[in-house]
Amino acid sequence: MEKYLYLSLLPEALIASHLSPEEFGAYYATGVFRRSCGQAMFFELDKNFKSDFLPVDRIDELCQPHEDGSPHKSVYLAVYRVLEHVPLSAIKKLYVVTSDGKTLGLDEQPFEPDDEKLFMYQDLAPIRPRVVSVLNPAEYIKRLTSEDRLVHLDKFAFCDMKLGSLEKDPENGDLGDLPYKNSQHLRDCIRAVQTKGKRNNKIFMRTLNGEILFRTIRRGFYVGDASGMKYYPLPSRDDLENKYYDWWRSALANFGE
């Protein structure tokens, strides 16, 4: 029976399983009896990577079929400082899962910065603030993982989020159907990073409350450290509405946030 190794971001955990990514996503989001629901995001990992911190050498021992021959759905190997100890080279495809278990796989693609000068990021692991920044994603990772900073991260994952017309006009711009609470504080944060002093980043929310509405994702998801970054773009709106209709319909039905 094939074994898989997953790095969950919500919450951060290292999990071994006999379930394929699509099967694991449905199980992880809804449970065995589908009586619970909750958004999920996880990377598939190279199960052969080596670590002196994580017990990856025990996968074969711990991830065994049950006595009746049924697959082992999840074996938690670690729940502390996981992402930090997984090398970028071991991180493969990213899967984003709606609350009712619809799973969308995202492939890594080269990152090309665009012309935007204002961003909002939702950090996913190991910390979870929502941040307004004048740094593009690659610059944001470089800044937060720099050992020159007193407080820095070894590695982290995040997504970028839409700002609507606030990107061009934070004073008078309209958020439209974007569901962010406390819009005046958001405008204050934008002004703080754009005005005198050029503060790189300003925390808009100290932690993620509830779930992320996937329709608010601007370009996609990122994970990186001082050595580099992996970028996982969300499909275009046209592809979401056609190729990935079931997932997109489920994502739009989630009115969390």
pLDDT at 54: 97
pTM of the model: 0.93
pLDDT at 159: 98
Tens of pLDDT along 185-196?
999 999 999 886
pLDDT at 210: 78
Tens of pLDDT along 60-77?
999 999 999 899 999 999
Q: Say if residue 33's pLDDT is above 80.
A: no
Question: What would the mean pLDDT of 207-216 be, rounded to a whole number?
Answer: 88
pLDDT-based confidence at residue 16 (cuts at 50, 70, 90)? very high
Q: Say if residue 255's pLDDT is above 70.
A: no
Tens of pLDDT along 83-125?
999 999 999 999 999 999 999 999 999 999 998 889 999 999 9
pLDDT-based confidence at residue 257 (cuts at 50, 70, 90)? very low
Distances (CA, A) of 177 to 165, 166, 208, 215, 255: 11, 13, 19, 10, 12
pLDDT-based confidence at residue 247 (cuts at 50, 70, 90)? very high
| Closest C-alpha among 69, 66, 14 to residue 44 | 14
